Amino acid sequence: MNQFHADKMKNIALTGHHGSGKTSLAEALLYCAGVSDRHGKIADGTTVCDYDPEEIKRKASITTALAGFQYEDYWLNLLDTPGILDFAGEEISGITAADTVLITVSAKSGVRVGTKKAYATAKALNKATMFAITKIDDKDANFYNVLTELKTVFGPTVCPVVVPVIQDAKIVSYVNLIEMKAYQYDKSGKAVEMEVPSIEMAEKEYRLDGLMTAITEAVAETDEALMEKFFEGEEFTQKELIDGIHNGMNKGLITPVVCTSALTMAGIDMLLKEFELLVPSAKEVNSVQAVSGDDVIELACDNSEPLTALVCKTVADAFVGKMSFLKILSGKISSDMTVINSRTGAEEKIGKLYTLVGKKQIEVKSAEAGDIVVAVKISAGTGDTLCSSNRVVTVEMPAFPNPCYSMAVRAKNQGDESKISSGMQRIIEEDSTLSYIQDKLTKEQILSGLGEQHLEIAVAKLKSKFGAEIKLSVPQVAYRETIRKKVEAEGKHKKQSGGHGQYGHVKIAFEPCVSDELIFEEKIFGGSVPKNYFPAVEKGLQECVKKGVLAGCPVVGLKAILLDGSYHPVDSSEMAFKMAASIAYKDGMRKADPVILEPIHTLHVTAPDDNTGDIMGELNRRRGRVLGMQPVGKGETEITAEVPVREMHDFAMYLRQVTRGMGSFTMELLRYEPLPANLLTEVITAISVANEA
């Protein structure tokens, strides 16, 4: 492979809503550029970028795939990202590694939630943007409706570059507005130049002269000299148009729009040409900031600088091992090089380096600033920064969405626990939006992610890659028990069984208090219970509070005061007093008006303004208490509420459905409150069933 410098490298992430044609577009681009010798299809499971068995089975992308190739004098790195909302972390990884974000929009369905989220992420990370209106060949496609929608949603920066000429609801040609040339495509996808039509572009207000005016106005905004020329009524040259759009993309002032059909290959060659002419190179994009101690420095995308590389993504490959996707921000990396992980301070020895074309691995000896390569079998994780020893800096990885949907994990087969643990650890290395922890309160193993499909894929990977099968169930709620009044109870343990007997006798006062742990005191007078048995009484109570008398839940808010008792000089023992304390505990708890406590969390929901009424109604239905609302951005509101955890297990699914994926939320434990009496029997039954299982 030829060595390309940063000014000849272009890194492009393909993003957009699920089903908008990202992978099909990537396939068409690779085929048109001669990288692939066949035009694969998702339905056949033959695409370059969807190669994982789960992707082939589900006919949808679930991971970000890299395809690097040469086109003309440039090296292009395409990053095909998933559009399914459950895999938002993969999209963030792909956009982080890229310099330009190409957002696919179906000519049938138009702007969707995934479109808006991809655009918002690209802008938040200061990336150049571009729209590709796909599936233009479909009988239900309407390019100009979608173009109007793009302008309405994303503003005047949207600028058409390649548009279709439509007659009698059929596309007769495609016009490149920069060249002012028209092309027809034959059945093989080969372009034939034809005369530029003088007719209306569609049945709406779009005409060639109007579209050209829109381009020139957008280009004029990018430079003062061009603005002056525009006001003087002079026409821009083709080079001025290209340079103006190129610079406008890099400054975030212009978002070009092209149209393509991955099925017929129409417009694919022009898109590759726009990549070459319009998309900014790795050298031109804004420099990345890094932290060195208390200083913030700008990293120049230059191979003469010290090495800085960001680990954007991790893959656990069954054959190669751990694969770390590196975006080289500055300097140069090579095989057998020793680098520093700025997070841990540890040295890393770089082994083999690869560039990828889907699952195809092509070994390279080195990579320069601006490139994206894969290092194998290094210990660094996603978000780590690898540096040369003479300049150790840290580059911040964008925040990933927090897991919001959880299920309890149980091994399907006995003895698989160790395989499950190690397998989950590897899967979580791949996906920073997954977590696998033991709940400190319920002791269950909890797998959390961004949705049902997310967890389903994790379970499938665990089985196929690591040979471990698990069952998922709704997690137990960490209920507690407490008492509501002060009582006194007596416990006497007396047993004679030949030889030494057993004798322990205590009187204990139980009362409510504010504490998560048992508070034990003694107020013994006259030595009715010797001091050496006090620890035994306390230990017996500590063992008892692990299970309450209603549903066997841990007891909190309990104070026990040892008041009186008696002992036998021969038969008394620590065990006897432990048993006596246990008897007093059970008797006292039943008389002290016990109650089950349920956890209450603080909930912060961010959602579009149009959905706030539905969400507040749903929270009321789930026994939540809405505390307030406040605007947090353009068209969005944050709702703050207190909610019982028992009612919130499927809230993530509800919120996604009602907001069409635009809503998000966080929850954190606030306090415990008494469970409503009408739910007591149901909860006790559920806990009993769970314990038996």
pLDDT at res. 203: 46
Q: Please tell me whether residues 566 and 458 are part of one structural domain.
A: no
Looking at residue 100, what is its pLDDT?
Answer: 97
Same domain, 540 and 677: no
pLDDT digits (tens, 9 = 90+) for 420-434: 998 899 899 889 999
Instruction: Please report which confidence band the pLDDT of residue 206 belongs to, taking 50, 70 and 90 as the band edges.
Output: low
> In sequence order, which residues have a C-beta less than 8 Å from that of residue 471 and are 6 or more positions away?
409, 410, 411, 412
Q: Are both 574 and 634 inside the same structural domain?
A: no
Q: Are residues 557 and 610 in the same domain?
A: no
Query: 100 and 81 share a domain?
Result: yes
Q: In the listed set 561, 592, 623, which residue is the last one of a domain according to the structure?
A: 592
Range of the domain at 642: 597-692
Q: Which of 243, 277, 311 is the last residue of a domain?
A: 277
Determine, yes or no, domain membership for 584: yes
Domain end residue (candidates: 223, 246, 277)? 277
CATH of the domain at 548: 3.30.230.10
Whether 369 and 509 map to the same domain: the answer is no
Residues 300 and 349 in one domain: yes
Answer yes or no: is 577 within a domain. Answer: yes
Examine the domain organization and report whether 467 and 495 are in the same domain. no
- Whole-number pLDDT of residue 199: 54
Domain count, the chain: 5
pLDDT tens, residue by residue, 29-82: 999 999 998 999 998 999 999 998 899 999 999 999 999 999 999 999 999 999
Regarding whether 189 and 83 lie in a shared domain, the answer is yes
DSSP 524-551: --TTSS-GGGHHHHHHHHHHHTTS-SSS
State the SS3 of 119-172: HHHHHHCCCEEEEEEECCCCCCCCHHHHHHHHHHHHCCCEEECEEEEEECCEEE
Closest C-alpha to 342, from 281, 388, 405: 388
Q: Domain for residue 395, yes or no?
A: no
Gyration radius of the chain's alpha carbons: 33
**pLDDT at residue 403 is higher than 80:** yes
Same domain assignment for residues 244 and 105: yes
pLDDT reported for residue 498: 62
User: For residue 464, what are the CA distances in angstroms to 61, 290, 446, 468, 472?
Assistant: 17, 39, 20, 8, 17
Say how far apart CA 224 and CA 543 lie, in whole Å. Answer: 79
Same domain, residue pair 434 and 542: no
- Rounded-to-integer distance, Cα 366 and Cα 368, Å: 7
**Gap between the Cα atoms of 646 and 261, Å rounded:** 48
Claim to verify: residue 104 and residue 230 sit in the same structural domain: yes
This prediction has a pTM of 0.88
Does residue 166 lie within any of the structural domains? yes
CATH number, residue 236: 3.40.50.300
Report residue 117 CA to chain centroid gap: 12
CATH value at residue 607: 3.30.70.240
Distance in angstroms (rounded) separating the CA atoms of residues 625 and 643: 6
Kindly tell me if the per-residue pLDDT of 437 is higher than 60: yes
Q: Does some domain include residue 396?
A: no
